Amino acid sequence: MQKHSKIYVAGHKGLVGSALWLTLQNKGYTNLIGRSIDELDLMDTAAVAEFFQTEKPEYVILAAAKVGGIIANNTYRGQFIYENLMIQNNVIHQAYLAGVKKLLFLGSTCIYPREAPQPMPEDSLLTSPLEYTNEPYAIAKIAGIKMCESYNLQYGTNFLSVMPTNLYGPNDNFNLETSHVLPALIRKIHLGKCLEANNWEAIRTDLNTRPIEGINGDASEETILAILSKYGITLSPALTLSPSHPLTASVEIWGTGAPMREFLWSEEMAEACVYVIENINFDDVAPKKSVISTKEKSVESKRSLDKLGMTSKLELIKGEVRNTHINIGTGREVSIKQVAELIKEKVGFNGELYFNTTKPDGTMKKLTDPSKIHALGWHHKIEIDEGIERMYKWYTSNQ
């Protein structure tokens, strides 16, 4: 890519897209295009077609998606598969029609089977059943990978797919109904700290910035306590009766806390993505090709090649083309309980972390194998303790 290349970042306002946008700017790219959902609905096929015809981007990074945590994935199953399929189908197909030089499709490591080997290599895809709670989202992302591979094979496009592990960072989703585990824990434990300190100014500020189910900081204390309690943020009733006794808060966490997770700082993910789109092509991750001159083929074969636009040579892929996607991760894991306790320490919360074992754990282990991207030249640097500290500072400074 040239510094003046026209680059469309789909989903540039979200956690992933905003990190990509900032990384591209910091690297000196000056011709970035972004559209909010109000400006361009990526589920609207006609609108997406018009956008590509008008703007003619040279490169596309597809970071737009409907995302959420275990509750949202399991509750809104139809929306997750429909909206993600529509978004990626429209963008990938129009990128092909517009002659985009390279496209980068972002998926998720939830594409791998529930019982995938640990750490999960790229070739474990489609080897056994998926985790049920996020199956619709995972199937949509698998379809995106296969769409990119198939267009590359049939049309000669240069469309790549990367599968980031669990991400966290600036502009994350802190909506307690739809957020992923780490931002949800940061917010819940922060609000628990505010409750135990009886800091209603901070609680109201938090709700004014990010209302919960429409309830903001203008609501009564009773209403606020009720909505916080719905999401597992409560005061211990016996201790609230005595004004002289310190308040004690409790934060509920779904499951046992035993599941192991891998977390990657979103800005590092963005650096990895830009590294891939700058340096890697489909040929680097696909099986090597055998080239046979058309002079060796019959006249009938040449006519067939002409129809495919391959008049000078026939490129034969050796074997099947599968699993050309690239994992982006740290290769290191930590339990949900350890993450919660680390957040508790960084936030300064003195209350109780209550693990509700009647709620689902989800996949017990989900560690990526980053060997492929390591071999291609990229490694992470920010570890989870530093990342959580950075994220909490960002959260409290953006209220």
Could you list the active site residues? 137
Residue 179: both structure tokens together? 């957020």
Q: Are 10 and 47 in contact (CB under 8 A)?
A: no
Closest of 377, 368, 145 to residue 276, by C-alpha: 377
CA 216/CA 200 separation, integer angstroms: 12
Closest of 371, 376, 377 to residue 123, by C-alpha: 371
CA 174/CA 185 separation, integer angstroms: 9
Give Dmax (Cα) for the chain.
95
Instruction: For the beta carbon of residue 139, count every other beta carbon within 10 angstroms.
Output: 16
CA 365/CA 357 separation, integer angstroms: 17
Q: Where are the alpha helices (DSSP H) in 32-156?
A: 45-55, 70-75, 77-97, 135-155
Q: Where are the alpha helices (DSSP H) in 124-248?
A: 135-155, 181-196, 200-209, 221-230
Q: Are 265 and 142 in contact (CB under 8 A)?
A: no
